[in-house]
């Protein structure tokens, strides 16, 4: 029970990787704050031993401040912050409007800055840590993901910078870059395609481990970096991607 008596806040925890992460934190004894814009966050929180759902948009400073305050009010501390909520925009930058660009950067990158800023005093008090969820798109992208790749590369850069800024305060900051994982985000990408079966076959050909990932496999990497087992690790990026970045980044 690595997180007995500790409090973890996981954004985007109503589905997918965030949901799996919230469940694993709870299984290891943590109080868990589920933040999401989607109603399903309530159901996820209700299924945890000590769960709290806070509805909020991660790109809104007011919502972020309120979620952090609610976490500390309810559970008394904040020990692990997981910046996981995100959106994709599967289109070329040539077709991306300035409004779409701003929204992708706000939900994926501004959010991480806002949460770090709001949570730092509480993380400093607890000697806590932060895990930011980036993507394999920060290591080697593919066509039609420019805004998302830019935002996720920004998350990796922010992780390094925040790790240095927070090291003197005793707070660690790391990132996890998932590969392709079977979630609603992956399904949404497939739904946009004319020939999804062919795309799945192409994707599988690129996977060194021969399959895409499960949300729980990414959650394991997140819990490791958030735990005391990673006490000497800060400013790093862990690719939990089945090896796909090793292949694509040297293609």
Residues in touch with ligand NAD (CB under 6 A): 11-12, 14-18, 36-38, 57-59, 84-87, 107, 133, 135-136, 178, 180-181, 183-186
Q: Is the CB of residue 102 less than 8 Å from the CB of residue 210?
A: no
CB of 237 to ligand NAD, least distance (A): 12
Cα 54 to Cα 68: distance, rounded to the nearest angstrom:
9
Residues 23, 13: Cα–Cα separation, whole Å: 9
CA distance 108 to 37: 14
Q: Which residue, among 116, 129, 186, 126, has the nearest Cα to 157 in the 3D structure? A: 116
Q: Which is nearer to ligand NAD, 37 or 77 (CB)?
A: 37
Nearest residue (beta carbon) to ligand NAD: 16
Contacts of 90 (CB under 8 A, 6+ apart): 144, 145, 148, 189, 192
Q: At 54, which helix (H) or strand (E)?
A: strand 51-55
Nearest approach in angstroms of CB 5 to ligand NAD is 27
- The CA distance from 203 to 244, in Å, is 10
Q: Which residues are catalytic?
A: 148
**Helices (H) then strands (E): counts for the chain:** 10, 7
| Residue 45 C-beta: closest distance to ligand NAD, Å | 12
């Amino acid at each position: 029970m690595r997180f007995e008596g500790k409090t973890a806040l996981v954004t985007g925890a109503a589905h997918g990787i965030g949901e799996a992460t919230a469940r694993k934190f709870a299984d290891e004894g943590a109080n868990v704050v589920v933040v999401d814009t989607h109603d399903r966050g309530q159901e996820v929180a209700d299924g945890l031993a000590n769960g709290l759902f806070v509805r909020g948009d991660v790109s809104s400073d007011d919502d972020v401040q309120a979620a952090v305050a609610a976490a500390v009010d309810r559970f008394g501390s904040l020990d692990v912050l997981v910046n996981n909520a995100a959106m994709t925009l599967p289109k070329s930058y040539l077709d991306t409007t300035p409004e779409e660009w701003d929204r992708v950067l706000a939900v994926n990158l501004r959010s991480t800055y806002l949460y770090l800023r709001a949570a730092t005093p509480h993380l400093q008090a607890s000697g806590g840590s932060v895990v930011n969820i980036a993507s394999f798109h920060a290591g080697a992208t593919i066509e039609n993901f420019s805004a998302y790749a830019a935002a996720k590369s920004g998350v990796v850069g922010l992780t390094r910078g925040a790790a240095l800024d927070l090291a003197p305060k005793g707070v660690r900051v790391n990132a996890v870059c998932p590969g392709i994982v079977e979630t609603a985000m992956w399904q949404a990408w497939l739904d946009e395609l004319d020939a999804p079966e062919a795309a799945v076959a192409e994707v599988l050909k690129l996977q060194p481990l021969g399959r895409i990932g499960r949300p729980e496999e990414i959650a394991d990497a997140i819990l490791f970096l958030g735990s005391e087992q990673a006490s000497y690790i800060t400013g790093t990026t862990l690719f939990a991607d089945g090896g796909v970045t090793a292949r694509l980044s040297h293609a």
